[in-house]
Structure 1
Amino acid sequence: MAAALEAIAPHRYEVDLYDPMSRERSVLVGRLTALYGPVTRRLPALWGALYHATDFEPVVRTVQGSLGRGLRRKVRAAMHPQPALVASFHPLLNHVALDVMDRGIPLVTVITDWVEFHHAWTDRRATRIVCASEPACTLCARRGIPEERLFRSSGLPIHPNFKEAIRRYPTRRAARQALKLRPLAPTVLLVGGGDGTEPLRRYARVLAQSPLDLQILAVCGRNEALARRIREDNHAGVHVFGFVNNMPELMLASDLLVTRASPGMIAEGLACGCPLLLTGYLPGQEEGNVREVVRRKLGQYVPGQAQLAKAVQDWFAKPGELREADFDRARAAGNPNAAFEIAGMLQGLVRD
């Protein structure tokens, strides 16, 4: 969002990116937040139970009241000098910021989930709440958010780099040539998130054994051990990457995107015209993403290795015009301009 705001209004605003939970591990909420990654990777059922047990407005307020004291102190200090606008991208910070802000400062909540989301995201005091889909707007309305406070963006905000890459590489062949990949080979992108996950290795192996002459791009994120193990497997056609800064190019080079049903990855993949093969989801906020992808024929849910291998083989066996229709449907559902739309709305709320 900061990059999009700078793009539409160069050098006009000073944007302070502030995360009180990551800066101070002494804050109890910060310690709990640090457990998010390990818990969701290793104990997703526990995460789902916690999510559903706390997904009620009275519980949210109780939790915020008991755990938010240290956060309030830090957020209050961050309000000096007084900002022209506050935008929140984290469900634990919306209520906290509104509790300590001076009246007259707009607060915008940008919900970073696609279809379904926790009650912690919705506070009726917010000036605007940004929703990336019609189901999200409907859910906000059911929770009592007035229609005039909702801003319906055309999708989740993704980095402006995606829009530039889409302009630079109009075809998959062009993106593959830029990456020094085989330009005509059927290409599948495997993404395991920023921290990488072990199933990626199994997916690479089962796809490498496919009768298709696949080109497999495995992005392992910061998990160097996983990247090393996949390289040591030495499967033909598998290209291994660590943490990358060229995800737009990798997506634009790929025919299919294999990923968990995380909203950010879905948004980026659709913007690049990638049909989706979803291997799993985080209980709670990501369950609806799977239903939405399947309902809109943007991809398939493939929770097992055999299902993944069959889905890939079946997709490449489809006639070319049907595969092109899948590309078009994905592009129509994704929008690289969403961040610019939201930035324009933020600019309109700022008083010069």
Structure 2
Amino acid sequence: MPHLGSTAHLRALAVAALAPRPASTPRRAVPAERVVIVSASIGAGHDGAARELERRLVAAGIAVDRRDLLDLLPARVGRAVRDGYHRMLVRAPWIYQRVYNSTERAGGGGPLARALLRSAEDRMLRALPADTGAVVSTYPGASRVLGRLRLNGRLDVPVFTYLTDFSVHPLWVADGVDVHLAAHAVPAAQARALGAQDVRVAGPVADPRFRPARAAERSAARARFGLPENAALALLVAGSWGVGPVRQVAAELRECGAAVPVVVCGRNEGLAEQLRADGIEHTYGWVDDMPGLMRAADVLVQNAGGLTSLEAFAAGLPVVTYRCIPGHGLTNSDALDQAGVAAWIRDPSDLKDVLYDVIDGPRGLLQREAAFALFAPEGQGPADEIARAFGDLPPFRPPVRVTRRPHSALRGLAATAAVACAVWVGAVGSAVATTGSPTGLMHAIGHSLDPDDPPHAGKPTAEHHS
């Protein structure tokens, strides 16, 4: 890559080139008839929540569009963010923990990450149809982009953030977002402590196929998956990417004797092959019928506290957290434990006793009751909150589209190149110094700030337990 100037010059150029533009003059007004949901294809949890919100809103008679924030970033940066984050979780989870801690302490975005997200603002506006009446984010970076558009007067419809995690990282709370929707009082309190003004406890969202099973359904599901009819079954999941010490946990489940391990590896086919070689008989890759597999199981063992946990709550399946992944895995485990909906096993010597207690003992009954209580009564869920605010809203006014002269387009391309060069030249060094690997930078960009941000006063730091 040719030399484009000093790092300081590149930083200044990137920030100046992507500085906020004044609000455009309204072109026309049309009735508000549509909700746009912005997610990100990082793992499956953010998209899963977006998909279920879409289903519920459509059932209420509202048109819905979905967008992926990664597609709105320039120069295919979104793919680099996703791939870098994936590699870091699989190959160097300790780096993710350090980056997560540093971003949690910082509580805000650095100049390069802010510039990168600003580069998505015009694309975001162009992605919103003229009849948009509200926008919903299920990803922190999308909330940052949308909140900034609201603050700058470029977006004149309400923005909702649906908190997909049970714990709230500071990046989830973006200035300009009108309403934050939480699954429980624990994440709601965390969001308020981080400065969110309008926070509403609306319960989790889960596909209606996840529901408690009758005895006949349980037997049928076991037969369909080729599982033993009478043994206790521990369904071990590790997200769509199959991350974490899954082989170790599967071996420990088998050795403790409390339940037969049934392992879902997601899209990690290499992991599935390793487990089969280890003698873990009931090992699956990607499973299309997770509701059926949950009906067959007696307990869910998980390591991240994401969407699968919420689906297990809806299915009446007790949840245990064990050997959780770093970062959000730790904070989600703590929050789920505080809420009384999932048992967090910190000591391996407790594994057998806790499994017995949640499968057949009083602890499992209490957890199931607390988990069912999470789900809001009909008409009071997160989609209902969005639908109520959707009515009688002012229309979205698309910005005036200005045709760029050729040299303007070249300046835009040069700005994008400057950002890319600045990110690589100016930020990778600090990311390597902070995290030990350039992949730390990818996570920082994906979560909307630089890993070398200085701490900001007044931002609380969550406690981690290992």
Specify if TM > 0.5: yes
Alignment partner of 1:250 out of 290, 293, 299:
293
1:107 partnered with 2:155: no
Change over 3 Å in CA distance of 1:333–1:40 after alignment to 2: farther
CA separation of 1:174 and 1:184: change in aligned 2, threshold 3 A? farther
What is the aligned counterpart of 1:59 among 83, 108, 115?
108
The structural deviation recorded for 1:276 is: 2.7
Tell me, in whole angstroms, the C-alpha distance in 2 between the residues paired with 1:256 and 1:126: 37
Q: State whether residues 160 and 339 of structure 1, in contact with CA within 8 Å, keep that contact through their aligned partners in structure 2.
A: no
Q: Distance in 2 between matches of 1:222 and 1:241?
A: 10
Cα deviation for residue 84 of structure 1 reads 1.6
Matched, 1:40 2:89: yes
* In structure 2, distance between residues paired with 1:44 and 1:188: 25
What TM-score do the two structures reach when normalised by structure 1?
A: 0.81
CA offset at residue 89 of structure 1? 0.8
**How far has the Cα of 1:104 moved from its partner?**
2.9
> What letter is aligned with 2:271?
L
Q: What residue is the counterpart of 1:190 in the other structure?
A: 236
Deviations 1:124-176 (A, max 9, x none): 32121112222222222223322xx222122x3222332xx43xx234x6324
5 Å-filtered alignment, 1:113-262, equals 113-115=165-167, 117-146=168-197, 149-154=198-203, 156-162=204-210, 165-166=211-212, 169-171=213-215, 174-180=217-223, 181-197=227-243, 199-211=245-257, 214-235=259-280, 238-262=281-305
* Aligned-partner SS, 2:323: coil
Cα drift, residue 203 of structure 1 = 2.9
Change over 3 Å in CA distance of 1:234–1:50 after alignment to 2: closer
Is contact 1:52–1:284 with CA below 8 Å preserved after alignment? yes
1: distance between equivalents of 2:368 and 2:272? 32
Contact preservation (8 Å) 1:72, 1:100: yes
Conservation of the 8 A alpha-carbon contact between 2:166 and 2:335: no
Q: Deviations over 1:85-131 (max 9, x none)?
A: 1101111111212333644311111111112x222211232121112
Asked if structure 1 preserves the Cα contact closer than 8 Å seen for 2:120 and 2:145, the reply is yes
Structure-2 change in CA distance of 1:25 and 1:219 (3 Å): farther
Residue of structure 1 equivalent to 2:132: 83
Q: Is the 8 A contact 1:94 1:123 kept in 2?
A: yes
Cα distance in 2 for residues equivalent to 1:10 and 1:295? 34
Residue identity in the other structure for 2:274: R
Q: CA deviation at 1:217?
A: 1.4
Which range moved further: 84-93 or 127-136? 127-136
Are the equivalent residues in 1 in contact too, given 2:340–2:367 (CA < 8 A)?
Answer: no
Residue 20 of structure 1 is matched in structure 2 by 69
Q: Residue 160 of structure 1 contacts residue 336 of structure 1 at CA under 8 Å; is this kept in 2?
A: no
Q: RCO greater where, 1 or 2, for CA within 8 Å and sep 6 or more?
A: 2
Matched, 1:348 2:388: yes
Change in Cα spacing, 1:62 to 1:317, as seen in structure 2 (3 Å) is closer
Tell me how far apart the structure 1 counterparts of residues 80 and 378 of structure 2 sit (CA, whole Å): 32
User: Structure 1, residues 289-345: CA drift from partner, whole Å, max 9, x if none?
Assistant: 2223444554443467x54xx523663378945365255345435538799711111
Amino acid at match of 2:146: A
Gap runs ≥5 in structure 2: 1-49, 393-466
Alignment pair present for 1:311 and 2:351: yes
Q: 1:2 to 1:346 in 2, by over 3 A?
A: farther
Q: Relative to 1, partners in 2 of residues 1:338 and 1:194: Cα closer, same or farther, differing over 3 Å? A: farther
* Secondary structure of 1:126's aligned partner: coil
Q: Could you list the runs of 5+ residues in structure 1 that have no partner in the other structure?
A: none
Worse overlay, 120-129 or 15-24: 15-24
Q: Over aligned residues, Cα RMSD in angstroms?
A: 3.2
Q: By how many angstroms is 1:243 displaced?
A: 0.5
The correspondence of residues 271-310 of structure 1 with structure 2, limited to 5 A, is 271-302=314-345, 307=349
Residue identity over aligned pairs, in percent, reads 21
Q: How many residues align?
A: 337
SS of residue in 2 equivalent to 1:190: strand
Local SS of the residue matching 2:190: helix
Counterpart-to-counterpart distance in 1, 2:205 and 2:269: 28
